[in-house]
């Protein structure tokens, strides 16, 4: 064993001498360079491991100490991010002692509450959290829809999801801007992104000029064209039901209509109603009558206009034409109005368990979560005698169906998923007369 080991050592020495004899001037510098490279990469690797460890440690601190505070602040001040907005981003570099928080919010008091909570828990921080509207907007924090139907999206780009719509003449609050898009809030308090060309932006005086003059609205007529002259001419806008119109002079059978951007056109006077009629309509609901005027209109996810509606867009639109502004989504509408008791656990689905309902009540459908809470995913309008009208994605258009199993248009999956019913009227939660919104800008 020793002999073998000695032989191997000799062999290695021999090979080494051979190499040095022929490459003496090249190998020593090469060996030094290799040693330097090894040292460099080893040092870099150790620093990398140290940085990763610091980064992981920082993330653990964020998750354990900071994020619960941020979540509690959001839950307290903006439990529904569709109507109140709090956005906070966090960075914590490995060589920083404290994390940096950058954010924006539509809710006053969020910044102070957040920073006070950090200090109470002895947490260091750097923060730049600003209240909206953005200071760069200056006084121009209002807007008026300037097209028949404006598409509001979840992101500031055309490929963003269509989340809701707003009709011509509707007032907006403007909070922020990004790459030609504006973060706006519609009268139902829904917050989303809108392209600059779909509305005019200005200060409160602009709002007073538009809403302080004579106003009218388009009720149940199909889409109408606003033309440059009473006799016709070029079309400058199309109009849909629910549009709030600033009116001018009367020319024969026609009425001058003044657009938010100042453009003027003409429309038959018989096709519009005074705003006073709209404001008074809320006292005598005609929900079932107005709802049936939309029969056959296409289903559109995010739609809230006569051009296309989703389920809650349809109910919202019907109530709007009756003089109400109600919440946007079904999961929001279920919290408005007054509860109407119904029996939903009758295995026989008897017909007499809907006797408390009245025409115009909202019916809410969905399922139960694992914790037993209700998940509302659909809404329709009750018409009486077990029948209801709704915009269902499975139907493709607005139609009438029945909750009674003996009817030809019985919808068993709707009957089985019926969870609640609400009655909306002035003075109940979440129901705002359109006149109150308009008067706030006069």
Position 231 scores a pLDDT of 85
Is residue 296 located within the same domain as residue 406?
Answer: yes
Same domain, yes or no: 155 and 244: no
User: Which of these is catalytic: 52, 277, 390, 413?
Assistant: 390
Residue with tokens 């607005």: 398
Residue where a domain terminates, one of 210, 233, 248: 210
* Domain match, 184 and 300 both: no
| Inside any domain, residue 23 | no
| CATH number, residue 181 | 2.30.30.40
Residue 382 lies inside a defined structural domain of this protein: yes
Same domain, 189 and 266: no
Dihedral sign for Cα 58, 61, 63, 68, please.
Answer: negative
Domain match, 387 and 303 both = yes
CATH number of the domain that residue 341 is part of: 3.90.1720.10
Report the percentage of the chain scoring pLDDT > 90: 73
Identified catalytic residue from 124, 177, 311, 335: 311
The predicted structure's pLDDT at residue 212: 95
What is the rounded CA–CA span in Å between residue 127 and residue 229? 57
The confidence band for 2, taking pLDDT boundaries of 50, 70 and 90, is very low
Residue 227 located in a structural domain: yes
Q: Are residues 255 and 343 in the same domain?
A: no
DSSP 202-232: E-HHHHHHHHTS-EEEE-S---EEEEEETTE
Pair 376, 362: CB distance under 8 Å: no
Percent of the chain with pLDDT over 70: 82
151-200 pLDDT, tens per residue?
A: 999 999 999 999 999 999 999 999 999 999 999 999 999 999 999 999 99
Task: Please indicate, yes or no, whether residues 145 and 266 belong to a single structural domain of this protein.
Answer: no
Return the pLDDT at 424.
93
Give the chain's domain count.
3
In a domain, 115, yes or no: no
pLDDT at 69 over 70: yes
Indicate if 277 belongs to the active site.
no
User: Binning pLDDT at 50, 70 and 90, where does residue 13 land?
Assistant: very low
Domain that holds residue 185: 136-210
- Among residues 191, 210, 229, the one where a domain terminates is 210
- Check residue 36 and give its pLDDT: 52
Across the range 257-283, mean pLDDT stands at 87
Q: Are residues 188 and 309 in the same domain?
A: no
Answer yes or no: is 42 within a domain: no
Q: Indicate whether 196 and 218 sit together in one domain.
A: no
Q: What is the model's pLDDT at position 206?
A: 98
Q: Which one from 124, 277, 378, 413 is the annotated catalytic residue?
A: 378
Q: Is the pLDDT of residue 285 over 90?
A: no
Give per-residue pLDDT as tens, 338-347. Answer: 999 986 555 5
| 158 has catalytic annotation | no
Is the pLDDT higher at 45 or at 2?
45
**124 occurs within a structural domain:** no
- 353 falls in which pLDDT band (50, 70, 90)? confident
pTM of the model: 0.85
- 35 in a domain, yes or no? no
Q: Are residues 304 and 399 in the same domain?
A: yes
Burial class (CB in 10 A: 0-12, 13-18, 19+), 46: exposed
- 50 has a pLDDT exceeding 50: no
Final residue of a domain: which of 164, 182, 210?
210
Rounded-to-integer distance, Cα 335 and Cα 340, Å: 12
Same domain, 384 and 293: yes
Q: Is residue 33 scored above 80 in pLDDT?
A: no
Angle between helices 110-120 and 67-77 (to 10 degrees): 150
Q: Do 301 and 310 meet the contact criterion of CB atoms below 8 Å apart?
A: yes
Does 311 share its domain with 405?
Answer: yes
């Amino acid at each position: 064993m020793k002999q073998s080991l000695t032989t191997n050592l000799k062999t290695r020495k021999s090979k080494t001498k051979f190499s040095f004899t022929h490459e003496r001037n090249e190998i020593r510098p090469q060996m030094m360079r290799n040693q330097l490279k090894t040292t460099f990469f080893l040092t870099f690797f150790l620093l990398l491991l140290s940085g990763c460890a610091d980064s992981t440690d920082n993330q653990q601190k964020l998750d354990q100490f900071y994020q619960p505070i941020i979540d509690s602040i959001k839950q307290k001040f903006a439990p529904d991010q569709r109507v109140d907005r709090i956005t906070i981003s966090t960075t914590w570099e490995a060589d920083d002692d404290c994390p940096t928080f950058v954010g924006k919010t539509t809710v006053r008091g969020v910044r102070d509450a957040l920073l006070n909570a950090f200090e109470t828990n002895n947490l260091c921080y750097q923060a730049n959290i600003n209240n909206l509207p953005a200071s760069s907007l200056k006084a121009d924090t209002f807007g008026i829809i300037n097209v028949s139907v404006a598409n509001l999206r979840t992101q500031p780009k055309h490929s963003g999801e269509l989340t809701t719509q707003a009709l011509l003449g509707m007032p907006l609050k403007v909070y922020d801007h990004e790459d030609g898009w504006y973060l706006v809030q519609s009268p139902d308090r829904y917050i989303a992104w809108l392209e600059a060309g779909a509305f005019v932006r200005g200060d409160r005086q602009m709002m007073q000029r538009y809403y302080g003059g004579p106003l009218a609205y388009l009720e149940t007529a199909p889409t109408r064209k606003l033309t440059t002259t009473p006799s016709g001419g070029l079309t400058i806008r199309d109009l849909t039901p629910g549009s709030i119109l600033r009116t001018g002079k009367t020319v024969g059978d026609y009425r001058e209509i003044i657009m938010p951007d100042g453009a003027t056109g003409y429309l038959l006077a018989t096709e519009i109603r005074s705003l006073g009629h709209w404001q008074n309509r809320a006292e005598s609901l005609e929900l079932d009558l107005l709802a049936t005027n939309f029969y056959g209109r296409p289903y559109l996810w995010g739609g809230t206009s006569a051009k296309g509606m989703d389920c809650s867009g349809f109910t919202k639109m019907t109530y709007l034409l009756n003089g109400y502004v109600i919440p946007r989504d079904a999961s929001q509408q279920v919290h408005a109005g007054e509860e109407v008791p119904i029996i939903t656990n009758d295995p026989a689905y008897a017909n007499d368990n809907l006797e408390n309902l009245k025409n115009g009540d909202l019916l809410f459908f969905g399922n139960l979560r694992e914790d037993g809470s209700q998940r509302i995913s659909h809404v329709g309008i009750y018409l009486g005698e077990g029948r209801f009208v709704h915009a269902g994605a499975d139907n493709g258009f607005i139609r009438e169906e029945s909750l009674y199993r003996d009817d030809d248009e019985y919808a068993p999956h709707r009957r089985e998923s019926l969870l609640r019913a609400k009655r909306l009227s002035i003075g109940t939660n979440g129901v705002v007369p359109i006149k109150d919104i308009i008067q706030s800008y006069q």
